[in-house]
Structure 1
Amino acid sequence: MKEFIYQYKLPIIFGGLGLILAILLVSIGFFKTLLLVVLTVLGTMIGFYLEQSGLFRDIFKPRNK
């Protein structure tokens, strides 16, 4: 079973994302789903930028006790 999941990891992930997207389209509509996807992508891009720039590195670094 582990070999199956490892071999078909990307189709399983994108199949799950497609299912979630289809459920959102049916339940809340096209434009609300589109807004949700755009804001999620924008938030992810901002997170990657902040991680690479190190702007908040001091705030979120683990504290040694």
Structure 2
Amino acid sequence: MTELIKAYFWPLIGGIIGLLLAVLIITFGFLKTLFVLIFMVIGITAGYYIQKTGILTNVFK
């Protein structure tokens, strides 16, 4: 079972993301889903920047 997951890891991730997007679009509609996705990208970008620069690591030491 673990070999199966390792062999098809990225297709499984893609399928899960596709399923999540479909549920969001059906539940909230296209524009609200797009709004959520835009803020997710902004949050991921901010988190990556904070991790890369180490701003919070220096603050909490």
Runs of 5+ consecutive residues of structure 2 not aligned to the other structure: none
Paired residues, number: 61
Runs of 5+ consecutive residues of structure 1 not aligned to the other structure: none
% identity of equivalent residues = 39
- 1:55 is matched with 55
Alignment of 1:1-20 (within 5 A): 1-20=1-20
Moved over 6 A (4+): none
- 1:39 is matched with 39
Q: Could you say which structure has the larger radius of gyration?
A: 1
- 1:28 is matched with 28
Deviations 1:3-46 (A, max 9, x none): 01000000001100100000000110000000101100110000
Inter-partner Cα distance in structure 1 for 2:47 and 2:60: 13
Q: Over aligned residues, Cα RMSD in angstroms?
A: 1.1
Greater helix share, structure number: 2
Inter-partner Cα distance in structure 2 for 1:60 and 1:10: 35
